[in-house]
């Protein structure tokens, strides 16, 4: 192997082992955070603003820790190959665009707000603000490109890759829920 070629890939079992090693302490930290700041008694059918029910806090900590652990282990596994991983390819760019379009950036009650749907709704309503949402979507695409590049370059099996992208989506949703708690729209 010459010095200009990227190092070999890390075996998938090693990456999975690293993900488990990152997941366990991160889950404990997020669970501690959730129970220290987000879990409060419910009043009526919905929790108070900024709080979460017990089971939602546990699920949010579980999924957020899993998503961050997978992404971190993929980054560590590909750290020597970052130039090859981040090299633009059609699949990586399209995946980043789709991920940016469906990535939850906020939530309205329990419903996620996704930029792609907002752009489509504003285009059909002839609202001038769609340009700002489109610019935000493109900025989010720049942020999601490294994530999609890591997942595409680091994971060979297509089903596993799809599962990781689904986990990334849920990580964004539950991570926001864990960070900000439930917000009631008042409707």
Query: Please, which contacts does 8-16 make with residues 24 or more away whose CB atoms are closer than 8 Å?
Result: 9/77, 9/78, 9/81, 9/154, 10/77, 10/78, 12/155, 12/156, 14/77, 15/73, 15/74, 15/77, 15/154, 16/73
178 by Cβ neighbours in 10 Å (0-12 / 13-18 / 19+) ranks as buried
The answer to whether residue 2 is domain-embedded is no
Examine residue 23 and state whether it is found in any structural domain, yes or no. yes
User: 187 pLDDT band (50/70/90 cuts)?
Assistant: very low
Q: Which domain holds residue 39?
A: 12-180
pLDDT at 118: 77
Residue 43 belongs to some domain of the structure = yes
Which of 175, 150, 174, 176 lies closest to 164 in space, CA to CA?
A: 150
The answer to the question of residue 185 being in a domain is no
Least confidently predicted of 31-45, 50-64, 79-93, 150-164:
31-45
Residues in contact with 161: Cβ distance below 8 Å, sequence separation at least 6, in sequence order:
151, 152, 155
Please report whether residue 6 resides in a domain.
Answer: no
Spatial contact of 86 and 149, defined as CB atoms under 8 Å apart: yes
**SS3 assignment, position 53:** coil
Q: Is 161 within a domain?
A: yes
- Per-residue pLDDT tens for 160-182? 999 999 999 999 999 988 888 87
Structure tokens at 2: 């010459």
| Per-residue confidence (pLDDT) for residue 126, from 0 to 100 | 64
Residue 162 CA to residue 157 CA, distance in Å, equals 9
Rounded mean pLDDT, 112-132: 75
Using CA atoms, how far apart are residues 170 and 1, in angstroms rounded to an integer?
Answer: 40
| pLDDT-derived band at 24, boundaries 50, 70, 90 | very high
Asked whether residue 169 is domain-assigned, the answer is yes
What's the average model confidence in pLDDT over 27-39?
88
Number of domains observed in the structure of the chain: 1
Instruction: Report residue 46: phi and psi, to 5°.
Output: -120, 150
In a domain, 5, yes or no: no
């Amino acid at each position: 192997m010459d010095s200009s070629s990227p190092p070999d890939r890390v075996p998938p079992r090693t990456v999975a082992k690293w993900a488990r090693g990152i997941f366990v302490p991160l889950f404990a930290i997020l669970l501690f955070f959730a129970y220290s700041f987000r879990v409060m008694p419910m009043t009526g059918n919905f929790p108070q603003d900024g709080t979460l029910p017990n089971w939602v806090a546990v699920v949010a900590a579980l999924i957020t820790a899993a998503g961050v652990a997978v992404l971190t282990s993929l980054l560590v596994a590909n750290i020597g190959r970052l130039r090859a991983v981040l090299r633009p390819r059609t699949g990586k760019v399209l995946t980043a665009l789709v991920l940016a379009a469906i990535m939850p950036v906020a939530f309205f009650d329990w419903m996620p707000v996704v930029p792609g749907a907002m752009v489509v709704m504003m285009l059909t309503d002839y609202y001038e603000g769609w340009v700002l949402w489109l610019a935000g979507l493109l900025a989010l695409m720049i942020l999601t490109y490294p994530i999609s590049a890591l997942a595409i370059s680091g994971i060979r099996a297509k089903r596993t890759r799809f599962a990781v992208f689904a986990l990334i989506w849920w990580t964004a949703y539950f991570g926001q829920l864990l960070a900000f708690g439930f917000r009631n729209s008042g409707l």
